Amino acid sequence: MSNWKTGFQDELGIVFAEAQDLLAAFPAPLAIRGLQYLDKFNPLAANSTKNYICYLLPFWLQETVKADQRICRRMALANVFLMLYFFIQDDVMDSTEVHTDWNQQLALSNLFYLTFLNIYREDFPSESSFWFHFQAYITEWAVSVATEGQASESAADPIRFAKKAGPLKLASTGMLLLTDQTRVIKPVSDVVDQVLVTLQMVDDWVDWAEDLADGNENSLLAFIRDELQLPASDTLTVEQVNTVLTLQGGLERFAKQALARHEQLLQAKPAIPLLLAFHDALAQDLLQASARLQQHKQARLRGGFVNWLAAKQEETANVVLGS
């Protein structure tokens, strides 16, 4: 079995080369801007932001659904442009400042939208049920971003944290439709949703301080609010977060939610080994972050004890010497 991350370098080279060709055909000045934007997320480029599930999901599914190479590449290519489109939407919505280049960015995003739409149209006629799922996933995304911060801040409904990434399921659903496996669209989508929840957990651990300051929805902060039984009217503070994470082992309990989810996913049918390998890596990332946090805490405690002991020894010496 291929490695979930490194086993598809050649395929990604083909997909991103085709994406570059399509972008190069955009009208000026959007062609250059589009190519520059793509480079930020090209996994084969140095120092790029990696969003593995966006473009690798079709290849992770290939063995399970028995799809041919063409289908995998087309769905991956569509997901690349879908990814670029939604990233620009997120950038604009999350920005607290007005940027002079938003007009070009929004214009570019519309060409991204047209591109992935054209890719889908080549394989899915207007009467295909694919367009039902297309509308459903895009609507889920729209409702998710429109209600962010308005929903309950409880962690009781973790799937809502996956909705913003829901449109990438068009790749898995499209592959299942093209291979006449409509009966497993829901179970496969459910598995992808669960993986997206854990992916969001990892992102939220990294971004919690920024999200707390900006008032953004964050699954880790929701988890901490639940642990503290904090009323919705009360503001969560940095001190409270640090206390739960560092002194009370909150990050380990948060990570164990991902580990429990992984155990459940191992029983899911149909089995998607490479997707589960990706999920396991995410869960382990959280667990390792928890371990590092505890090691840091212990080191600080030891350092504090050493400093206290040194002070006491100096105090004792001064008493003995009569100083």
pLDDT of residue 308: 43
Query: Would the pLDDT of 294 be above 90?
Result: no
pLDDT of residue 98: 67
If you average pLDDT over residues 65-88, what whole number do you get? Answer: 97
d(CA 192, CA 105): 29
Query: Would the pLDDT of 316 be above 80?
Result: no
CA distances from 297 to 113, 126, 257, 268, 301 (A): 47, 58, 22, 37, 6
**Sequence spans of domains, the chain:** 184-323
pLDDT of residue 151: 54
Read off the pLDDT of residues 155-168 as tens digits, 9 standing for 90 and up. 667 888 888 999 99
pLDDT of residue 1: 59
Global pTM value: 0.89
- The backbone torsions φ and ψ at residue 5, rounded to the nearest 5 degrees and listed phi first, read -100, -40
Query: Would the pLDDT of 323 be above 70?
Result: no
Mean pLDDT over each residue of the chain, to the nearest integer: 90
Q: Which residue matches tokens 């291929």? A: 2
pLDDT of residue 257: 97
Q: Which of 117-126, 139-148, 228-237 has the highest mean pLDDT?
A: 117-126
d(CA 33, CA 262): 40
Query: Would the pLDDT of 187 be above 60?
Result: yes
d(CA 42, CA 18): 12
If you average pLDDT over residues 169-190, what whole number do you get? Answer: 98
More confident of the two residues 234 and 304? 234
| Residue % of the chain over a pLDDT of 70 | 89
> For residue 27, what is the DSSP state?
P
d(CA 102, CA 18): 26
- The C-alpha angle 45, 275, 292, rounded to 5 degrees, equals 75
Q: Which ranges of the chain does DSSP label H, i.e. alpha helix?
A: 9-24, 30-39, 52-65, 69-94, 102-123, 130-146, 169-178, 185-214, 219-228, 238-242, 250-265, 273-321
pLDDT of residue 157: 77
Query: Would the pLDDT of 129 be above 70?
Result: yes
If you average pLDDT over residues 179-197, what whole number do you get? Answer: 97
Give the count of beta carbons closer than 10 Å to the beta carbon of residue 71: 20
